[in-house]
Structure 1
């Protein structure tokens, strides 16, 4: 998120309507105060993606993010400052070359939130779901694809970390991470204390087992749903999924429950379907909460369960396991 805060200056002030935009010029703004003239988001040319103020369950609160407005659930694929407080009605975003500020509603006071080191001259919300900034030569100087939260989209590459959300309605950083490690291995971790936890082997519950395949490895999602690993020279390390229909839309997300899943996303109202998932079995996800039917045998045998066993209890003679924490 820091890189996002370094190349734009936003004046945060929030409105509600929409406009298609291929090129967003300096001075363009979004607002969260509904009116006939204000905009709350910028659409990609196809209308498949939107960047702007994403409404939360409370109609007075918003995130700044990217989502799929055509889907019934308005699938969120990226958000800024996910662990900060939500924005409220009365905030604005303005694309500026020099800086960004947030306007406190109650005090009407501008506070700087961004430091711009590379001047931006325009921006675009692209059809693949990427929001980009351009310099005066129309070259990309920053893009959201370089700073994912819990999701990667078709055409996107992961070289660092995805962090799950707490839940489907709470988009703050959760307790699961997918890390593209420097040793070339792709690993899922359970973090008992969230971002405060330093991942170790004890917290890992799934990996691609591609240790030592080279520094600079990346996870890649192609337009045809081909999910694969490349080394720093661009050589294939491992194919994770096979190619499918190129005309469809795909996204890979680290779910709040700890599964990393590849989805076929229907943009016209039929929801999404799972193409691939890791781990394959729900019981293989460490740190599961709630009622677990049939998972107790594997959990009893796991080192994770032996560590956290005091937190679990069986429900009578039923084959159910409950989390007490």
Structure 2
């Protein structure tokens, strides 16, 4: 099994000589498996890694998980960093679910540890079933093509070596070598959509056709290829029809309005991102801005208390910036 993971890691250049990684270690089977895989990979590639665990303090037994992870790291001679959320200098946003908050807390912690120890990558133990769950959650919520692409092998400094490994294979390996791990009870609670998909949807699909896992991987690959192509089209458009100015990214209005809808949305999102607008644009907001840009008058259209889209018909340009 490690041979197939090695090929995936090599193909996507996830871990290379000289890298230093932070491993997010929850103590669950997935991250314990990833820890043992990294130890084996060190026999082939010269890299170092640090294990870290964040105690969210949401369960009475969570302190035991931290101590378990610390013990596993010490047994294997791995540097360990553990903290409680109450020890973090983190001001959480008041929007989103508890699951989203936990993700933001972990990312803040992982990135802080990476900066502290001089790591250039953060390794996460997301596997094939995590990818499938993410896909169906986003499908249910009406996600875009980029959203349906789900998790990438690498996104910034985050790497996911296990994205093509099944949970079944992970558990089989751990049980075969008698490696210990902990189970978070929130991972089985039917209160969460992800868990309901894990418990009911995925087993039904596999039972319907045992080629589901292989077919799913092929579909994700095709979706990601299409997404990459569209991103390339957007970058080409921006090089030819946009200029960076002090006030923001100025975009040629006529060329923009001549784009197909799917590309037009992505160009607008790029403009919002480059302007560092501090919120995620909804489809409704994109449509609202596009209606404004199709109008016959110059002016400002507010997209938040401090942000706006400016349109200058004389110059034939528009841009996003603070107002």
- TM bin, normalised by shorter chain, reads under 0.3
Give the structure with the larger strand fraction: 1
Alignment TM-score, normalising by the size of structure 2: 0.26
Q: TM-score, normalised by structure 1?
A: 0.26
